Amino acid sequence: MDNIFDIFKRSDEGGEEKITVELKVKIYVNKPDAGKEAPTPPMIILTKKKAQKFKNDLSAAIWRSKDYVRINLIGEINPETEKGSDYSFLATEELKSAK
């Protein structure tokens, strides 16, 4: 089977870097609460400045794309200390596979 990115990539799109948006945020992965049936949906909180930059980057990627836009969430996972002045973050819960 082909790689998912190979399936969606088109040779005439001008390269993956033009349809990829990188959103740098702190990523917090929490343990799920005991006894809770469904996990809490992931949540992204962005400062106004970070949201505006993301909007601009996403608009440019959409304009260049014919089929899809890839969003890479990058950043430190469960940071020990707060660094910098940007408080944007993604919060999610660990998901366990049912085996």
Q: Is the pTM of this model over 0.75?
A: no
Q: In degrees, to the nearest 5, what angle opens at C-alpha 91 toward C-alphas 89 and 93?
A: 160
Q: Cα(9)–Cα(53) distance, rounded to whole angstroms? A: 25
Domain count of the fold of the chain: 1
In a domain, 49, yes or no: yes
Q: Which of 56, 49, 52, 42 is nearest to 85 (CA)?
A: 49
| Burial label, 97 (beta-carbon count in 10 A; 0-12, 13-18, 19+) | exposed
In a domain, 69, yes or no: yes
In a domain, 64, yes or no: yes
In a domain, 9, yes or no: no
In a domain, 26, yes or no: yes
Task: Say whether pLDDT at 97 is over 70.
Answer: no
Domain that holds residue 30: 20-93
Q: In degrees, to the nearest 5, what angle opens at C-alpha 42 toward C-alphas 38 and 44?
A: 160
- What percent of the chain has pLDDT above 90? 45
Give residue 35's pLDDT.
75
